[in-house]
Structure 1
Amino acid sequence: MTQIIFINLPVSDLKRSIAFYTAIGFRNEPKFTDETAAAMQLSESIVVMLITLPRWTTFTDRPLPPAGSSEVMNCLSCDSREGVDRLTETAKTAGGAADVNPAQDHGFMYGRSFTDPDDHVWEVVWMDPAAVPPAA
C-alpha cells in the first residue's frame, strides 16, 4: 500500500481555501469534505486537509502560531523553472502572497515561495535531474 501524507492546515474561511487550492492544482475529494473540513488532493499520495478553526480545536489544545510566524514550511517540486514561476504566480493571483521568502537560484536548483490566504508557507522548487547523483 502506498503511504499517503496528509498535511492538516487550520483555515479561517473554508470556501476561500478550497477555491485557492483548486486554483493552484489540487482537486477536492468530496468523500472527505463537509462544512468543517475539506480534503484537497494533489496526487495519489499527497492530500491537504483544510480544517476550520472550530474543528481544529477538537484535534489539539495547542495554540496556533501567531500571524506572521512559521511553524512549518511545506515544499512542492515542479518539473521546470517555469513551473516554479507559474505555480508561484498562480498562488498570488488566487489570493496568496508570492515570494514571502527570497527566491533561490543555485543554477542546478531554483525555488520560490508563497503563502495561502491563511499565511501557510509553501516552497516551490525545481532541481536539474542531471545534478542528482545516481543511487548507489
Structure 2
Amino acid sequence: MYQQMIFVNLPVSDVDASKKFFTELGYTINPQFTTDDCACVVISDTIVAMLLGKRRYADFTTKEIADATRTSEVLLCLSAESREKVDELVDRALAAGARGSGEAVDHGSMYGRAFDDLDGHTWEVMWMDPAAVQG
C-alpha cells in the first residue's frame, strides 16, 4: 500500500543551527537532500521537514516570507505515543534552545505541549488516549 508523505518546507535563518537543533531532538538529517542552504530532517518514515535558508526558500514562492517570531504562518502538530513522550520531546526542544509556546493542554484523554523552534515556527506535540480516539 502506498504511504503518502508530507514534506513541510520552512524558512530558516541559519541552516547549520537548525540542523543542530533538530538532531538534538533525536531526528536525523538525510544527507542526500541536504546542502549548505537546505537541511532534510527526517521526522518519521512519512514526515520530512525541509529547512530552507531564506534565499533558497524564496526560490519557491513569490510571496513575502513570514517572520514566524512575529506572525503565525503555520502550526505544526506531531503525535506522541504517550504523555511522557510529549514531555520528553518538548523538554529536549527547550534544552536545545526552543521557547515554550502557550500552556500545556490536559483534557485527561488528550495531552499536549508546544514549543517555538529557533526561527519561531510553532510545533505542538500531542498525545491522545487510543481508547478515546476509537470512541
**Normalising by the residue count of structure 2, what TM-score does the alignment of the two structures yield?**
0.94
Q: Residues of 2 paired with 1:120 and 1:25: CA distance?
A: 18
- For residues 79-94 of structure 1, what are the structure 2 equivalents within 5 Å? 79-94=81-96
Q: In the TM superposition, what is the alpha-carbon distance from 1:26 to its structure 2 partner? A: 1.4
- For residues 1-136 of structure 1, what are the structure 2 equivalents within 5 Å? 1-66=2-67, 67-98=69-100, 100-133=101-134
For the aligned residue pairs, the C-alpha RMSD in angstroms reads 1.1
Q: Residues of 2 paired with 1:68 and 1:58: CA distance?
A: 22
Identity %: 47
SS at match of 1:34: coil
Partners of 2:37 and 2:52 within 8 A in 1? yes
Partners of 2:58 and 2:65 within 8 A in 1? no
Runs of 4 or more, structure 1, over 4 Å off, are none
Q: In the TM superposition, what is the alpha-carbon distance from 1:53 to its structure 2 partner? A: 0.7
**Runs of at least 5 residues in structure 1 that lack an aligned partner in the other structure:** none
SS at match of 1:90: helix
SS at match of 1:123: strand
Q: Residues of 1 paired with 2:84 and 2:103: CA distance?
A: 17
**Normalising by the residue count of structure 1, what TM-score does the alignment of the two structures yield?**
0.93
For residue 77 of structure 2, what is the amino acid of its counterpart?
C
Q: In the TM superposition, what is the alpha-carbon distance from 1:95 to its structure 2 partner? A: 1.1
